[in-house]
A and B are shown apart, each in its own frame.
Chain A
Amino acid sequence: MAHPPSKALSDPVANVPLPAVSTGAPATRPSFLLSMSTLWWREIRSFYRQRSRVIGVLATPLVFWLLLGSGFGTSLRTSAGDENYLQFFYPGTVVLVVLFTAIFSNMSIIEDRREGFLLSVLVAPVSRWALVLGKVTGATTIGVLQGLLFLPLAPLLGISVSPERIPAILGVLLVLSFGLTGLGFFFAWWLNSVQGFHSVMNIVLMPMWMLSGAVFPADGAAGWVKGVMSFNPLTYGITAYRHYLAPAGVQIPGPSIETCWAVTLVFGMFTLAAACYQAGRSSPEGLG
């Protein structure tokens, strides 16, 4: 389909005489905040234009939750007394939504790095920190929003969420999502195939989730599993979430809420630093 260029060429503005020589450096004053926020907004805008991805991030955890939760029913007794498995599994499901969001958003780094959007950011006068922060805050926002969609399900299950705890729940989700996205970014930056990222997902990210107290509680697990769980930063995020969902007066087994917050925050800052460090270096093959 040849588009006649004549429209633009015969346009009156095209014939207005202009200084032939470039006026020198244009008023390009790159701004860290503007770059970061535009990348943040692009991430969100682009995500919500993809229905399949929006649904995918929600559907898998929902199916996991309903099938596993209903399947185990009451055959798994947890220390929290008469809690059924559907209830026990609830915080883990929300964290899985956050994890999936982080994974999907970082998958696009790999697609974008060799060709596409990311290259055009790399040749723009944008600091790598703005690039990382834009990506990570974008994915975090999406993760929290998607995770929040699960919140109304809690009362249906007999989990009472008191309104004054919602900000704290939001905070936990936010910091967790931040940490997981940073972690995903760290891996995605130096991998050059989506397949490679799938193995990271299967070897690192999914086991991390499974051994976080999301699927089974630590107190009944084998000794070594317990050990691994206590080193897993995600355990503390999940436990913090459990603290906020527990009815008043009920003691949650495991680390205290303060420890949970501290570990989750450190995890978030650590992965952000790792992601920034990673992005500051060129990838092994000089970006393709």
Chain B
Amino acid sequence: MQAMPVPPAVEVSSLVFRYGERTALDKVSFSVEQGEIFGLLGPNGGGKTTLFRILSTLLTPAEGSARVSSFDVSRQPLAVRKIIGVVFQNQSLDRRLSASENLIHQGHLYGLRGEALKNRIDLLLELLGIEDRRNDAVDTLSGGLKRRVELAKGLIHQPELLLLDEPSTGVDPGARLDFWEYIQLLRRREGITVLLTTHLLEEADKCDRLAILDQGRLVAEGSPRELKEQIGGDVVVILSSRDSQKLSSDISRQFDLEPTIVNGSVRFEHPQGAELVARLMQALPEQIDSVTVSHPTLEDFFIRVTGHRFGEEDPAGDQA
């Protein structure tokens, strides 16, 4: 991006989408630079899947625009489709066919054939470590291996932008880590831009930059580190079996802080959390059951900008 101006890989401006009365996306704007791994983080129902579908040309926005490498997704869908690779949350492989049969069909859809297609498939299967299973029916592969075949399918035509919808859904933690290593590897090798949606904070932490969506609005954008640094200092969470409200107002009065109550616990941010806690324990011993002091996480940031917790637990973890 040094020499000549390169258009952003993705540029979304004032995007609005409605399902009937409900506004799923409300004037969302952000841009993704070439070569980035960009995460759309948000709780389920936050609007990220809608945004994903607009970028993959399945939905047309009501207002605003979305561009992929300067092509407008609603006006030039065909041009966009040629340069995006899409990996859906759900399985898109024909489970009765083998991995390489699936990849051959996919290549044909993009006009690839013959030797060029064969070489591409060989390369991807080798990179992703699924070469030895290439002739097995997809049905017989584990969840993690299926995800890798999906990834190969999305990359068959060397797209400029890879769109991943909830890449970790239904994948056990070990395979999840693998998947990330493959993403990093592919970015290095193919110089690809990656945009992914996730509701997992630890996954978001691995992205270069993030956009946080909550209830259809973009509430923050930046690198995970920048976002966490905005908190400045430590996060203190106090559990009290008594009246949290009273504890909160006592802290506010005696220490000149502005604590918030989230899910019954009192929390605040402070540059020197640990030192403060000692004073706090002396001042209000009978009201405090336990105190946690920690470095800020993305969840802390999320709570700060939205006023509520990130929401549900990871459902995929239970399935695995």
Q: Which residues of B contact A18 (CB under 8 A)?
A: 188-191
- Out of A1, A25, A35, name the residue touching B144 (CB < 8 Å): A1
Are A8 and B185 in contact (CB-based, < 8 A)? yes
Question: Does B34 lie at the interface of the complex (its beta carbon under 8 Å from any beta carbon of A)?
Answer: yes
Produce 1/0 per residue, A81-96, CB < 8 A to B: 0000000000000000
Produce 1/0 per residue, B163-197, CB < 8 A to A: 00000000011110110011001001111100000
Question: Does B78 lie at the interface of the complex (its beta carbon under 8 Å from any beta carbon of A)?
Answer: yes
Are A20 and B191 in contact (CB-based, < 8 A)? yes
Produce 1/0 per residue, B78-111, CB < 8 A to A: 1001111010111111101100010011101111
Known pairs A11-B126, A20-B191, A116-B91; A35 contacts B174 (CB<8 A): no
> How far, in whole Å, are A126 and B90 apart by their CA atoms in the complex?
21
Question: Does B59 lie at the interface of the complex (its beta carbon under 8 Å from any beta carbon of A)?
Answer: yes
> How far, in whole Å, are A9 and B185 apart by their CA atoms in the complex?
7
Q: Which residues of A contact B144 (CB under 8 A)?
A: 1-3
Smallest Cβ-Cβ distance to B157: which chain A residue: A28
Smallest Cβ-Cβ distance to A30: which chain B residue: B111
Q: Which residues of A contact B110 (CB under 8 A)?
A: 28, 30, 124-125
Looking at the assembled complex, report how far the CB atom of A264 sits from the nearest CB atom of chain B, in whole angstroms: 31
> How far, in whole Å, are A114 and B81 apart by their CA atoms in the complex?
19
Are B35 and A20 in contact (CB-based, < 8 A)? yes
| Interface 9-mer from A45-53, A206-214, A234-242, A251-259 | A45-53
Smallest Cβ-Cβ distance to A21: which chain B residue: B191
> How far, in whole Å, are A120 and B60 apart by their CA atoms in the complex?
17
- Out of B92, B111, B159, B177, name the residue touching A119 (CB < 8 Å): B92
Smallest Cβ-Cβ distance to B154: which chain A residue: A120
Produce 1/0 per residue, B140-169, CB < 8 A to A: 001011000000010001111000000000
Question: Does A163 lie at the interface of the complex (its beta carbon under 8 Å from any beta carbon of B)?
Answer: no
Are A123 and B177 in contact (CB-based, < 8 A)? no
Question: Does B58 lie at the interface of the complex (its beta carbon under 8 Å from any beta carbon of A)?
Answer: yes
Which interface class (under 10, 10 to 19, 20 to 34, 35 or more) fits B? 35 or more
Report B32-83 residues with CB < 8 Å from chain A CB: 34-35, 53, 56-60, 78, 81-83
Question: Does A287 lie at the interface of the complex (its beta carbon under 8 Å from any beta carbon of B)?
Answer: yes
Q: Which residues of A contact B84 (CB under 8 A)?
A: 123
Looking at the assembled complex, report how far the CB atom of A198 sits from the nearest CB atom of chain B, in whole angstroms: 23
Task: Classify the interface of chain A: helix, strand, loop or mixed.
Answer: loop
Are A28 and B82 in contact (CB-based, < 8 A)? yes
Known pairs A120-B86, A286-B53; A8 contacts B177 (CB<8 A): no
> How far, in whole Å, are A42 and B172 apart by their CA atoms in the complex?
30
Question: Does B112 lie at the interface of the complex (its beta carbon under 8 Å from any beta carbon of A)?
Answer: yes
> How far, in whole Å, are A7 and B178 apart by their CA atoms in the complex?
11
> How far, in whole Å, are A124 and B163 apart by their CA atoms in the complex?
13
Looking at the assembled complex, report how far the CB atom of A250 sits from the nearest CB atom of chain B, in whole angstroms: 45
Looking at the assembled complex, report how far the CB atom of A202 sits from the nearest CB atom of chain B, in whole angstroms: 28
Are B185 and A25 in contact (CB-based, < 8 A)? no
Known pairs A42-B94, A46-B96, A124-B81; A31 contacts B111 (CB<8 A): yes
Q: Which residues of B contact A24 (CB under 8 A)?
A: 160
Are B174 and A8 in contact (CB-based, < 8 A)? no
Known pairs A117-B92, A123-B81, A124-B109; A286 contacts B129 (CB<8 A): no
Question: Does A115 lie at the interface of the complex (its beta carbon under 8 Å from any beta carbon of B)?
Answer: yes
Question: Does A22 lie at the interface of the complex (its beta carbon under 8 Å from any beta carbon of B)?
Answer: yes
Are B82 and A125 in contact (CB-based, < 8 A)? yes
Q: Could you jot down 5 A-B contacts, CB within 8 Å?
A: A11-B127, A21-B191, A37-B108, A115-B88, A119-B90
A-B pairs with lowest CB-CB distance, top 4: A2-B174, A115-B90, A38-B108, A49-B96
Q: B residues within 8 Å of A by Cβ?
A: 19, 34-35, 53, 56-60, 78, 81-84, 86, 88-94, 96-97, 101, 104-106, 108-113, 116, 123, 126-129, 137, 142, 144-145, 153, 157-160, 172-175, 177-178, 181-182, 185, 188-192
Q: A28-B111, A120-B86 are in contact. List 15 more A-B contacts (CB 8 A).
A: A2-B172, A20-B188, A21-B191, A26-B159, A27-B112, A34-B109, A34-B113, A37-B108, A38-B104, A42-B105, A49-B96, A115-B92, A119-B86, A123-B58, A125-B109
